[in-house]
């Protein structure tokens, strides 16, 4: 068990998302009724309420929608400062993903972003985001397993 707050990766809504991440794939829910994508996954479309949804693979690129930098520590597993980013997925801009970057990088709205995969201490794999032109942006550190 790590000190990092880990997501629930085994329920009916999020299980397929995290299973795909372990395979190095980014997926999102797509509504067949209104043709819109959404993230966080659920049983019903967040836009029209339809249950006629499916998982779709994404290319793993998007644009920076917004971000905020956290300066007040709320948990010891998340040292400050860190920046939470919201990325609108290319090909399905209604599907917006969260990511977390260490420090206070300089960002711009609309900046091209790409996914990368962070493996946590307990084996959970999180899709995370970095600017396309960056070599690699550090995520929050993950403690070593005991």
Q: How far apart are CA 23 and CA 35, in angstroms?
A: 26
Q: What is the pLDDT of residue 52?
A: 96
Long-range contacts of 111-114 (CB under 8 A, 24+ apart): 111/63, 111/64, 112/61, 112/62, 112/63, 112/64, 113/61, 113/62, 113/63, 113/64, 113/85, 113/87, 114/60, 114/61, 114/62
DSSP 139: -
**Average pLDDT, rounded, for the chain:** 87
pLDDT tens digits, residue range 119-136?
A: 887 888 999 999 998 766
Tokens of 18: 């995290």
pLDDT tens digits, residue range 71-124?
A: 999 888 888 999 999 999 999 999 999 999 889 999 999 999 999 998 887 888
Q: What is the pTM of this model?
A: 0.85
Beta bridge partners of 116: 128
Span 7-31, mean pLDDT? 90
Give the lowest-confidence range in 2-11, 97-106, 134-143: 134-143
The answer to whether the beta carbons of residues 98 and 86 sit under 8 Å apart is yes
pLDDT band of residue 4 (cuts 50, 70, 90) is: low
């Amino acid at each position: 068990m790590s000190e990092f707050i880990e997501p629930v990766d085994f329920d009916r809504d999020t299980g397929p998302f995290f299973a795909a991440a372990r395979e190095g794939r980014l997926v999102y829910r797509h509504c067949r009724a209104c043709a819109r994508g959404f993230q966080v996954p659920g049983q019903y479309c967040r836009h029209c309420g339809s249950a006629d949804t499916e998982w779709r693979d994404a290319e793993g690129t998007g644009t920076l929608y917004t971000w905020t930098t956290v300066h007040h520590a709320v948990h010891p597993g998340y040292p400050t400062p860190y920046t939470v980013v919201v990325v609108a997925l290319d090909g399905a801009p209604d599907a917006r993903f969260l990511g977390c970057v260490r420090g206070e990088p300089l960002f711009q709205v609309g900046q091209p972003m790409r996914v990368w995969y962070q493996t946590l201490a307990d084996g959970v794999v999180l899709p995370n985001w970095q600017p396309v032109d960056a070599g690699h942006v550090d995520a929050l550190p993950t403690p070593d397993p005991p």
